[in-house]
Chain A
Amino acid sequence: RKEVEQDPGPFNVPEGATVAFNCTYSNSASQSFFWYRQDCRKEPKLLMSVYSSGNEDGRFTAQLNRASQYISLLIRDSKLSDSATYLCVVNFPMDSSYKLIFGSGTRLLVRP
């Protein structure tokens, strides 16, 4: 089982659509969760951290279900500029440290 698993897509949606991405992680000791977005040939940029109670930032809503080890990202009213790859990122404990593990990404294409 992959440490962080995402549907690779691509998700091809019209402008204005609502789209949801899912992610599962394998280490129940993980404590921090993030969604990053990465445009083609650019660096990953933080979209939002994911908190246990769920959180919203404008058109974006992230949810965490620790019992199921599942994270989601909902994008409402999709814009052309939302086209990118969305990376689910989870921290994995390592001895006295930790490291971030990236999912393979879900590609979103928003069409006019």
Chain B
Amino acid sequence: DTEVTQTPKHLVMGMTNKKSLKCEQHMGHRAMYWYKQKAKKPPELMFVYSYEKLSINESVPSRFSPECPNSSLLNLHLHALQPEDSALYLCASSPSGVRTDTQYFGPGTRLTVL
């Protein structure tokens, strides 16, 4: 079962709010990823966790803060976002994070910042 779940499906927040996006997988994968996708654009990598350690941060602004509490969970904490941060936020996982891994995506959280 190649399933990655994400909550919430939709989120509307103001620029002063603090919210969190959650991602979960029970496939025993040891690498997890956050991507951001704007309309009519491809996904762009934000963060990579490998064996619960942050291995890649693609120079993402500090108003996005990732957290990996355990090997099955990945969170993205949001604070003081801007309207241009509105996008589809996709979580993905892969077995071990090596170069030949296939990544499996969750359904995404559609975020609107007012």
Contact = CB atoms under 8 A, between A and B. Distances in A.
**B partners with A:** yes
B29 to A, nearest CB: 14
B106 A93 contact: no
Majority secondary structure of chain B interface residues (helix, strand, loop or mixed): loop
Nearest to B99: A98
A99 B45 contact: yes
Nearest to A98: B99
B102 A46 contact: yes
Interface of A is mostly: strand
B95 interface: no
Interface residues of A, number: 22
A109 interface: no
B67 to A, nearest CB: 19
A26 interface: no
Interface residues of B, number: 24
Interface stretch (A11-19, A74-82, A100-108): A100-108
Contact of B108 (A43, A46, A99): A43
Given A43-B90, A104-B41, A105-B42, A97 B104 contact: no
B76 interface: no
Residue picked from A32, A42, A91, A100, most chain B C-beta under 10 Å? A100
B43 interface: yes
Contacts of A91: 99-100
Interface of A: 31-32, 34, 41-46, 49, 87, 91, 93-94, 97-100, 102-105
Interface of B: 41-45, 48, 50, 55-56, 58, 88, 90, 97, 99-108, 110
Give the 6 A-B residue pairs with the shortest CB-CB distance, closest first: A102-B42, A43-B105, A98-B99, A32-B100, A31-B99, A91-B99
